[in-house]
Amino acid sequence: MIADTCQKNAKGMSLIEVVLSFAIISMLIMSFYSIFSSSIHQTAGEQFDDQAVQLSRTILDGVRAHVFKDQTMMLYEQNLDLEPFRDPNQKSAFDTQPLFYPEREHPLFRIMMHVERLPGTVQLNLDPSKKMRDKNKLENQPLSKQTVQLSLGDYFRKITLTLVDTNGVEHRFESIITVR
């Protein structure tokens, strides 16, 4: 008798209920998949951005450290001529030939650099003070005011780094370095 009651009340799920529950579960799984997929793609793009910033800092720090000491520097097993940083009128190979990171055969980034003189001038008004007179032991001698005009390009270079990642996205960085 108990077995008969259980059999009468135990109805199975109909085909429509099974199909509807499968459709609802599929929609939930697809929405979670799209959320996770887009976050993974966004994270990968941000990883390229972070890596490009770090790479540009490394390159610029290396140039700053070597520009006064050496004629060339090794950068990711590629030779970089430093003369264009000192004399930007000289055409450099890296204006036309890019460098590659981490290696030429399998690059994550193609690196292009452009160096130019910083445009503009600055005018300095030199007014010898009493301190300068005392320091130079010129107490009673009058020193005249002088105006000096300096070209910024004689002292500074503007470096533009363009890094192109494997997705074709350009990351552009500009920096100014002193060359005297």
Separation between Cα atoms, residue 132 and residue 126, nearest integer Å: 11
Separation between Cα atoms, residue 57 and residue 65, nearest integer Å: 12
Residue 131 domain flag? no
Separation between Cα atoms, residue 160 and residue 25, nearest integer Å: 52
CA angle centred on 101, ends 57 and 92, rounded to 5°: 75
Residue 72 domain flag? yes
Residue 65 domain flag? yes
Closest CA to 84 of 97, 69, 95: 95
pTM above 0.75, yes or no: no
Separation between Cα atoms, residue 54 and residue 51, nearest integer Å: 5
Quick one: pLDDT at residue 26?
Answer: 92
Quick one: pLDDT at residue 24?
Answer: 93
Residue 159 domain flag? yes
Residue 28 domain flag? yes
Residue 150: Cβ within 10 Å count: 12
Residue 13 domain flag? yes
Residue 125 domain flag? no
Residue 137 domain flag? no
Separation between Cα atoms, residue 83 and residue 93, nearest integer Å: 11
Quick one: pLDDT at residue 23?
Answer: 93
Quick one: pLDDT at residue 33?
Answer: 84
Q: Quick check: 91 and 84 in contact, CB under 8 A?
A: yes
What does the pLDDT profile of the chain (180 residues) look like in tens digits?
A: 555 555 555 577 788 988 999 999 999 999 888 887 777 766 766 888 888 999 999 988 888 888 888 888 888 888 888 887 777 676 665 666 788 888 888 888 999 888 888 888 888 877 666 555 555 555 555 556 778 888 888 888 888 999 998 888 899 999 988 877
Quick one: pLDDT at residue 54?
Answer: 92
The total number of structural domains that make up the chain: 1
Domain encompassing residue 94: 2-118+155-178
Distance linking the first and last C-alpha atoms of the chain: 104
Quick one: pLDDT at residue 57?
Answer: 92
Q: Which residues pair with 125 in a beta bridge?
A: 147
Quick one: pLDDT at residue 174?
Answer: 92
